[in-house]
Amino acid sequence: MMPEFIPMLGILGLSYLSLALFALAKFGHFKDVFKRPPSQWQSRLLTLFAWLLLIISLSTCAHGQGWAYGSILFMGIISLAAMLVILTLSYSPRHLPIGIVTGSVLTGSLLLSGGI
Amino acid sequence: MKETFFRTLSWLHTWAGLLVCWVLLLIFFAGSLSYFRHEMSLWAEPELHRGAFQDYQVDQVANQLEKGQSYIETHSAPNTQRWLINFPTDRSPMLSFAWQLPPEKGQRRGKIEQHTALADGSGVITDVRDSRGGDFFYRLHFDLHYMSAITARYIVGVCTMLMLIALISGIVIHKRIFKDLFSFRQNKGARSWLDAHNVSSVIALPYHLMITYTGLITLMLMYIPWTVSTAYPEDNQAFLKELNPARQTEKASGIQAEQVRLSRLLPQVQAEWGDAPIKQVIVSYPKDQNSQVTFYQNTGKEVTDESTILVFNGVTGELKYASPHEVSATVATYDTMMSLHTARFAAPLLRILFFFCGLLGCAMVATGTLMWAIRLRQKQQKAIDKGEKASRGLRLVEGLNFMFILGLPLGAAAFFYANRLLPVDFATRSAWEVHSFFIALAAMGVWAFFGRSRRHWQLALMLIGVLYCALPILNAFTSPSHFIDNIRSQQWALVGFDIVALLLGSAMLFASTRLSAVVKTLQKPSRKNTATSEKVRRKQPDPSYANELASSSPLEEAKS
């Protein structure tokens, strides 16, 4: 039962990353986090990367669990990740970059160790 | 035109949602808990917490079948209708032997007597307290209680339909669905409640749509029976038989016959399934000429509700039927929807996520009703300031909010406390466990008569929070194994129960302390920005404080 949770942490990290980038692509949230407005190309780039990460996390999930089970699981994970992003943004937006770094380190290390 | 369109839809959203919101909250709450139906049932039978847990062992199956059959044969009454042998699974890690007696007059199903084997094979546990456990919450979410199941299902069906309407109209009127996806502005009065409502709806939107729609589908043949009754005018059974030939068992012939040894069928089962785990073996009409033996496979994570079975003749041991039979696309679709709703396939992690989404559903309904109360109060604020009494509608809405939002978690706690504290030999104890749920709910209703102010919310939240946090302690004193024991013996279902109780309890205590923080901020407006308040969850601060913070009516934005 336990090992099931570990690769899922990686997917959660990826989804968190993706949603955090989506949030940063929005004018208001970017300003809350960095105290300055984003330029237009910054916004576009963030959105692009966010989509990429979202697709990667869905396909990783489906790859590990099969499409039927994986896509259902993905929906659940994305809800949880969205909740975490919202909590970070509304209670301490300055810490979003820390969340992003944690997410990448978590996902990266699991990817390297072959955990996902 | 556009103006009217959106106005009409937001009128629809408001009324479709509000008419049935408290019933919906009950359905969502009980439904979310039912994801842990078996875990709760296990918790509710502490007699089984020591010595009975075991894993499924392929090489033991033949032995266990033989033992089970002999045990049932020697202990059951001669007129037994079915034998059941349940093998250990992940969610119910125990081997049990059971038999079902013929139904008594006026009852549809006969009583099932179940004995659980000790893991070391030294005997069985026969004395288990009478409790409905998780089945109560499962039944509650579509059969309600204190009324006939049919009436209840029609009520639930109407509520579900209105819920679906509210969801779809909600999506249309929430124009900034992606723009505001991550926006939750705290301490902004009604604006915050709207944000909390939007956030809890949108981030679990796929789940909400899925669970509402599939919820309707589960009972679709009851709600719309005419297609079937037109095609099969005489008899519903003919339809069921054609739908699934395996589901039909022949009637008992009344002629005695020698029952086949179950372990003798095992080689045939293994030839079909290999070493795939067996979940259950059922013998219908044992020792009758028409006896039939059915093996159920443990299908694990497949997204299906259809069981994989093998049916044998109970006398000759001849294989009569093996699934899966070819199903049409319609049946496959229906099956997928069923399984999505019941989530029987979900492994622990996905189950937790479903539960989380279910709680978000509760939050969605609760924030919706709280906003309604705030809006009513804002409309009457001037009159109330002048010293007039709040209108009857407002008092009713606030009272019902208080009763249901606080009463449901309190009721669940009362149920679990009753389970452990009522005497074991008390005759109608399982009924009284259920009564205590409703007594607690009613108690909150009575409380609401005497006061629904912020102070009362705070007290009630604290009470419920403490009750939840004390559940692990209750468990430690009233069952043979406490939290640490369960971790050591890796009983994650029982460990999980304690953890969830602690988490819910702390969330409520947190909400309660936040309320007092908000009270202080209200007194010192200069410190407004430092106070935070958790409003995303179901256990929430008082609507009227939000009202005091809201100077204008940002709620109208959503109604544009």
Q: Check if the beta carbon of residue B180 is closer than 8 Å to that of residue A29.
A: no
- In-domain check, residue A30: yes
B103-158: pLDDT as tens digits: 877 777 778 888 898 888 788 888 888 888 899 999 999 998 888 888 999 999 99
A38-86: pLDDT as tens digits: 889 999 999 999 999 999 989 988 888 888 888 999 999 999 999 999 9
Q: Which residues of chain B make contact with A82, given a CB cutoff of 8 A?
A: 181-182, 203
Q: For residue B503, how many other CB atoms are within 10 A of its CB?
A: 12
CB–CB of B348 and A4 under 8 A?
yes
> What H or E segment, with its residue span, contains residue B444?
helix B429-450
3-state SS class at B386: coil
Give CA angle at B483 (B478, B489), nearest 5°: 110
Q: SS in 3 state form for B337-380?
A: HHHHHHCCCCCHHHHHHHHHHHHHHHHHHHHHHHHHHHHHHHHH
B22-56: pLDDT as tens digits: 999 999 999 999 999 989 999 999 988 888 888 88
Q: How far is B78 from chain A (nearest CA, A)?
A: 42
Q: Which of B26, B44, B146 is nearest to B418 (CA)?
A: B44
Select the residue of B302, B347, B357 nearest A4 (Cβ to Cβ): B347
DSSP B281: E
CB–CB of A23 and B185 under 8 A?
no
Which residue has tokens 């479903």? B354
Rounded (10°) CA dihedral B138, B143, B148, B151: -170
Strand partners, B112: B100
Which residue has tokens 């399984």? B339
List phi, psi (to 5°) of B132.
-85, -15
Question: Residues B466-500, buried b or exposed e (16+ Cβ, 10 A)?
Answer: ebbbebbebbeeebebbbebbeeeebbbbbbbbeb
CB–CB of A91 and B90 under 8 A?
no
Which residue has tokens 């309890």? B505
CB–CB of B207 and A75 under 8 A?
yes
Structural domain of A81: 14-112
Q: Check if the beta carbon of residue B159 is closer than 8 Å to that of residue B214.
A: no
- In-domain check, residue A7: no
Quote the CA–CA distance of B393 and B18 in Å, as a whole number: 13
Quote the CA–CA distance of B470 and B71 in Å, as a whole number: 40
Burial, A32: exposed, middle or buried (Cβ in 10 Å; 0-12, 13-18, 19+)?
Answer: middle
Domain coordinates in residue numbering, chain B? 2-40+139-218+346-558, 52-128+245-324
The list of chain B residues with pLDDT below 70 reads 1-2, 235, 244-249, 324-326, 517-560
Select the residue of A4, A26, A89 nearest B349 (Cβ to Cβ): A4
Q: Check if the beta carbon of residue A13 is closer than 8 Å to that of residue A106.
A: yes
- In-domain check, residue A2: no
Tell me what ipTM this predicted complex has.
0.90
Q: Which residues of chain B make contact with A75, given a CB cutoff of 8 A?
A: 206-207
CB–CB of A90 and B354 under 8 A?
no
Q: Report the domain count for chain A.
A: 1
Which site among A75, A78, A92, A95 would you substitute to test the B interface, given the most B Cβ atoms closer than 10 Å to its Cβ? A75
Q: Which residues of chain A make contact with B182, given a CB cutoff of 8 A?
A: 19, 22-23, 26, 29, 82, 85-86, 89
Q: How far is A72 from chain B (nearest CA, A)?
A: 8
Quote the CA–CA distance of B422 and B359 in Å, as a whole number: 29
Decide if B340 touches A, using CB distance below 8 A: yes
pLDDT of B518 reads 65
B225-276: pLDDT as tens digits: 888 888 887 767 777 777 766 666 677 777 888 888 888 888 889 888 888 8
